[in-house]
Chain A
Amino acid sequence: MPELPVDAPDSIEREIILPGPPTRVWTALTRADQLSAWFGTQATIDLRPGGEVVFTWDGSTGPRGTSRGLIETVEPSRRLAFRWQSVPDDIPMTRVEFTLEPHAEGTRLRVVESGFASLPPELRVRESHVEGWQRELGELAQYLAAP
C-alpha cells in the first residue's frame, strides 16, 4: 500500500541558504520594492501584525489580479508570517511563514506554506491558485523567449 497523501498535503516546506546577513534578507522580505523584485509582481506592504501585504498582477503577462495576505507575525530579522485571504470575500486561506537564521554563508531562510488540508470548501481554491500559477508560467515563458 503506497503512502497516501490523505493528511500529508497540508504544507509545503522549502529551505535555502542566502548570501548576506539576516538583516538584509529581512529587508528583501519586507520592503515593497525588494519584495516586488523576487515575488514576481508589484507588492505593497504594511509591516505590522494585522497589516496587509498585497500583490498585484498588472495583466501584461496574464490575467489582471490581486493576492492579499494579512500579516500575523513580525519579528525583525527572525520571523515573518502572513495568511493569504481569498479575493474578494476575505476568507482566510493558507499561512505563509518565513524563518531566518544566521548561517556560516549568510542566512538560512525557511518558508512553510500550510493549511492546504483545511481550506474551507466554499473557496475556489483551484481557480485562484492555478490562475496565479499560469500567470507565473506566462512570465517564465516570456523570460525564456527573450533574446
Chain B
Amino acid sequence: MNHVALHDAPNAVFAALADPTRRRVLRLVAERGPTSATLLERELPVSRQAIVKHLAVLNRAGLVSGQRAGQEVRYALVSRSLDEVSDWIAEIGSRWDERLARLHQLMLEQTSATEDR
C-alpha cells in the first residue's frame, strides 16, 4: 500500500512523470492492468533492474500500487494521483481564463475610448 501524504503527492508525481521511460512504464501498467516487472521487461528496451527502479519511483509517487502474487509483485495504476495532476493543471488553466477575460475587458475599454474621441 502507498502512504503518500496528500500535500506531497503532486511533486512526487511530477518527478515521476518527468522521465520518458517511466511514462512508458506507467502507460503499460495502465493498459495491461496489474503487471509485473518481468512482464514489462518483454515490452520495454530496458533491463528488469531498471524497470524495478522505475516501478519503485512510481510507487512512491502513489501512481502505482504493488501487490504480491506468489513469487512476484504485480503493479496496478492508482488513477487518483493522476487526477490530482489534472486538477492542478485545470486550476492553472482557469487562471489563464480569468486573465484573458480581464485582457478582453481592457481591450474593449480601450476600443470604446478610441471611438469616443
Interface residues of A (CB under 8 A from B): 1, 4-7, 9, 12, 14, 16, 18-20, 24-25, 28, 34, 37-40, 106, 109, 111, 113, 116-121, 123-126, 129-130, 132-133, 136, 140
Given contacts A12-B89, A124-B11, A129-B91, contact A18 B96 (CB under 8 A): no
Residues of B contacting A109 with CB < 8 Å? 100, 103
State whether the Cβ of B4 lies closer than 8 Å to any Cβ in chain A: no
8 A Cβ contacts from B69-95 to A: 77, 79, 82, 85-86, 88-89, 91-95
Give min CB distance, A70 to chain B, whole Å: 19
Known: A12-B96, A14-B96, A129-B88. A34 touches B106 (CB 8 A): yes
Mark interface residues in B85-116 (1 if CB within 8 Å of A CB, else 0): 11011011111111110111111101100000
* Cβ of B15 under 8 Å from chain A: yes
Whether the pair A1, B107 counts as a contact (CB closer than 8 A) is no
Instruction: Flag whether B26 is at the interface (Cβ < 8 A).
Output: yes
Whether A1 contacts B30 in the complex (CB less than 8 A), given A19-B111, A126-B11, A140-B98, comes out as: yes
Per DSSP, are chain B's interface residues mostly helix, strand or loop, or mixed?
helix
- Are A14 and B100 in contact (CB-based, < 8 A)? yes
Q: Any chain A CB within 8 A of the CB of B17?
A: yes
Known: A18-B103, A39-B102, A140-B98. 14 other contacts (CB 8 A): A4-B30, A6-B30, A7-B23, A9-B86, A14-B100, A16-B104, A28-B106, A38-B106, A106-B111, A116-B89, A117-B14, A117-B17, A121-B18, A133-B91
Q: Complex Cα distance A5/B13, Å?
A: 12
**A103 to B: closest C-beta gap in Å:** 12
Interface centre among A9, A16, A116 (most CB of B within 10 A): A9
Q: Do the beta carbons of B88 and A126 come within 8 Å of each other?
A: yes
Instruction: Give Cα A19 to B93, complex, Å.
Output: 22
Q: Tell yes or no: B53 within 8 A of A by CB.
A: no
For B27, B86, B89, B97, the residue with the greatest tally of chain A CB atoms inside 10 Å of its CB is B89
- Report 11 cross-chain contacts, Cβ distance below 8 Å, ordered by A residue: A19-B104, A20-B107, A28-B106, A28-B107, A38-B106, A106-B107, A111-B100, A121-B15, A121-B18, A124-B11, A133-B91
Answer whether A39 and B18 are a contact pair too, CB < 8 Å, given A4-B82, A20-B110, A130-B88: no
Interface residues on B, range: 35 or more
B10 within 8 A of A: yes
